[in-house]
Structure 1
Amino acid sequence: MKKLLLLISIFVLISVIVNSQSFIENAPEGFDLPQTEVLAGKIDTIVYESNTVGTTRNALLYTPPCFNFENQCPVLYLFHGIGGDEFEWYVNGSPNLIFDNLIAEGKMNPMIVVLPNGRAMKNDRAEGNIFERDKVEAFSTFEQDLLNDLIPHIEANYPVIKERKYRAIAGLSMGGGQALNFGLGNTNQFAWVGGFSSAPNTKEPNELIPNPSKINEDLELLYIS
């Protein structure tokens, strides 16, 4: 997972134009550890009203070092796998430390990263049989929760740039399928899309990308691993 986080960090370098592929065999030593003299960002829990689900929902939110409400930032929405929740990336991957280190090295623009719960239902905990039909369907329902509830909440309360060119979406496993489905299905909302070991919830190619040339025109980057 930590390798995937490094790849995601690279993917969201919005100032970089990708001209060729590169392969990373091993992450640099200490990339996910606190570094001396590196300023630390913050991870907070946020609560938003979900009209889609009919309740309030939680998400984690990373703000970069030296964050303030006067400077607008790009934003990444980062999704977890089927067995996780909004804490999965934070608990298992130290994303805040990775982002802090990349920002300090000048390899990543300061940005806000939203880590939501992609299981859009009233009891959204990863408990019991996580493969039950209603729980799996809730990952599809999350598209409406994301577009109609979470993104508007973030844009109303945090200084993110409200343009698709500065809005990224990515995910792992079930979340990777979500990112491809939601991102490629809403290129008017997202210009950066990443799927990492995407689960079989990804739509069929002819449904997902009926017009490849338009996708090429719309996206800054499509990253699949």
Structure 2
Amino acid sequence: MQDRAEETRRAVLQAAAHLFFERGYAATSISDISERSGRTSGAIYFHYTNKEQLALAVVEAHFATWPALVAHHAAAPESTLRKLVRLSFAVARAFRDDVLVRAGARLWAERRSIAVQMPPPFVDWIATVEGMLTQARAEGDLAPHAEPGRDAPTLVAAFFGLHTLSDALDERVLIEDRLTDLWLLLLPGLQADPAPQALLAEVSGRATGRDDGHHGDRIHRAAGPHRPASRPGVISG
């Protein structure tokens, strides 16, 4: 019985995420979610009370994605600066490919139209990045003029600002290319011995032009302007 209830919750959450991402909060009804999930409206209300609580559950699932991802990369046997860069690419792919992450970001952008308190974005990311920069300093990899407490908010702002731009211009198809370009700009100011091309080649292969199997490889850059996305570009952490 418990397994069936959990299966229902997951099915409803996934269906809601798809619809919230595709249509937005206001244009999605419980009836739509019922039809998409194959569950009755009564079953949805039993688990989530109302549409506001279901939207909150999607946003909370978005935020719940990050701790395990951070822990996975933190455990890697490599320098912390490489871990930070590698983590940024993993997060970028989640924002591009994971519907719960993308739906959570859209719902957070629409939070003023949803009568529920949303968790605050970015705070945990700033703390995570500051901790990783501090560790990179202890490892001797951080430039003397870099300051973790000062630079972490700037890095987080640059990263999520890049997502806003990429969402607006090409719906994040080229996010890995754009992120590579961002790190090529930032790493010379962060590394004690600047070698951004080498670090990026080790982390993702993108700085060398090698196709690593992800979307948006440099050889696929479009020559002209992209169709603007119909979805809001604000990103939640």
- Provide TM-score, normalisation by structure 1: 0.28
* Greater helix share, structure number: 2
- Provide TM-score, normalisation by structure 2: 0.27
Please identify the structure whose Cα radius of gyration is greater: 2
